Structure 1
Amino acid sequence: MIDSISTATQSTQANSSSGSSDLDQAAFLRLMTAELQNQDPDSPMDSQAMLDQFATLSNVQAISGLNTMFSNYLSSQDSNSTFTASNMIGKEVSVISGNYSDVQGELRGAIEPPAGVSEVTVSVRDKLGQIIDKQVIDTSGTDVSFPFEFNGVGSGDLTVEATYSDGGVEQSVDVVQPSKVKSVRFEDGQTLLQLASGKFATLDDIRTITG
């Protein structure tokens, strides 16, 4: 008899770990009552084993409850994140991104190299990946951010990349561009900001908020 209850409890554990609970506490009690009513008088159920089964069921339900609480907490955090981001609509921001669109011949942004880097090469590539313009920026000062500007590069999808040489090895530098937040959306568990360019950025991509 105990074996059948043990099997049912193990089934409960398996269902709990997979997100379902076909055997809840009430069902377990009904099963236990039926077992007691139909037990063999010559071989009664072991009371300690019964207590162990109750303890196992309680542990499984406690874990299931914690999982539910944690899931609700994560959902709450996601909602709060989206609500906070919605307050950024219409704000001017600076975003870590080298993807530029519809610049109409003028391209502005900034680079944020590590401390100690003396110069950085900023290159503009067209949609085919060809370099159409570049400049070397002196970054030996104490500033954290160094602006750049290109004119006459045309419009369309362009990519800006910034690099410096570290012992002969080329290293990338963050490119930051100004933009305005048009809307906010929640997708695949992530809060996304739609920029004026039509592209999307995450909250982690935002460097500054103004306006």
Structure 2
Amino acid sequence: MTTVDSTKSSSVLATLNSSSRSTSSTTTSEDIQNRFLTLLVAQLENQDPLNPLDNTEVTNQLAQMSTVQGIEQLNTTLNSLVSSLADTQAVQASALISKTVLVPGSHLTLSDGDAYGGVNLASAADTVTVKIYDSSGNLVQTQSLGKADAGNLLFSWDGSTSSGTTAADGSYTFKVTATKGSSSVTAEALQLGTVSALTRTTNGNFVLDLGSLGQYDFDDVQQVF
């Protein structure tokens, strides 16, 4: 029958209690490591000579402690990088105030005989067509932009209509279609707007205020002019 040395057990418990009292309410990996090493030393000092601690087990425990410390250091580094990225994004976002940006949307503003819009093509197209509508939904002009590569494509409209008249300044909308051979190509309408203000959301992202066009995420911006 195996007997337990009460003196040695009391010594280990005393060491644990002392270590526990010295640990702050917020436990870090360093605190855990210190407590572990304290316990390990106490175990080594009070081990049964006839049944010593297994070297492999001790080595595995030390390796686990090293892993815990490494993970905490990695988390600290990642948090620092995230904070740095947020600060960089804040500087970039603030620089957009009063700038003209290209964002998803089909709004077209005709002013002094000029209007500008954009198209994002998922792949190259043989033919890109823009149809412009007035506020009542009536088709006023159809423009062929010809062949284009994948990516963003800008276009302008001088206000001329299909009937040969000149459209009044104001708000219009447009639709885009694109084809390559007999197949359609995914085409997204892009609109131009001026950034009047920006706000930071609770999750750390930035929202750009484009006035009458509404609000857009910082990541929605395709180009800046």
User: Which category of TM-score, normalised to the shorter sequence, fits these structures?
Assistant: 0.5 to 0.7
Q: State which of 149, 164, 167 in structure 1 corresponds to 2:178.
A: 164
- Give the conservation status (yes or no) of the 8 Å contact 2:125–2:180: no
Q: Give 1:109's aligned amino acid.
A: Y
Q: State which of 105, 108, 111 in structure 1 corresponds to 2:118.
A: 111
Question: Which residue is 2:142 aligned to?
Answer: 136
Asked whether 1:195 is paired with 2:210, we answer yes
Cα separation, partners in 2 of 1:78 and 1:119, compared to 1, 3 Å: same
Q: Distance in 2 between matches of 1:208 and 1:75?
A: 25
Cα separation, partners in 2 of 1:95 and 1:21, compared to 1, 3 Å: same
- Give the conservation status (yes or no) of the 8 Å contact 2:106–2:173: yes
Secondary structure, counterpart of 2:146 in structure 1: coil
Structure 1-normalised TM-score? 0.66
- Give the conservation status (yes or no) of the 8 Å contact 2:128–2:147: no
Cα deviation for residue 179 of structure 1 reads: 1.6
Secondary structure, counterpart of 1:53 in structure 2: helix
- Residue-by-residue CA offset, 1:54-103 (whole Å, 9 max, x unaligned): 12211221122112201220221122111121022122x131321549x6
Q: Distance in 2 between matches of 1:189 and 1:123?
A: 37
Q: State which of 155, 162, 167 in structure 2 corresponds to 1:146.
A: 155
Question: Which residue is 1:47 aligned to?
Answer: 55
Q: Name the Cα RMSD after superposition.
A: 3.8
- Higher alpha-carbon Rg: 2
- Give the number of equivalent residue pairs: 183
Q: Distance in 1 between matches of 2:208 and 2:221?
A: 10
Q: State which of 100, 104, 107 in structure 2 corresponds to 1:97.
A: 104
Q: Which ranges in structure 2 are unaligned for 5 or more consecutive residues?
A: 1-27, 160-166
Structure 2-normalised TM-score? 0.62
Cα separation, partners in 2 of 1:36 and 1:142, compared to 1, 3 Å: closer
Cα separation, partners in 2 of 1:148 and 1:104, compared to 1, 3 Å: closer
Q: Distance in 1 between matches of 2:221 and 2:206?
A: 11
Identity %: 25
Q: Distance in 2 between matches of 1:99 and 1:142?
A: 19
Cα separation, partners in 2 of 1:181 and 1:136, compared to 1, 3 Å: same
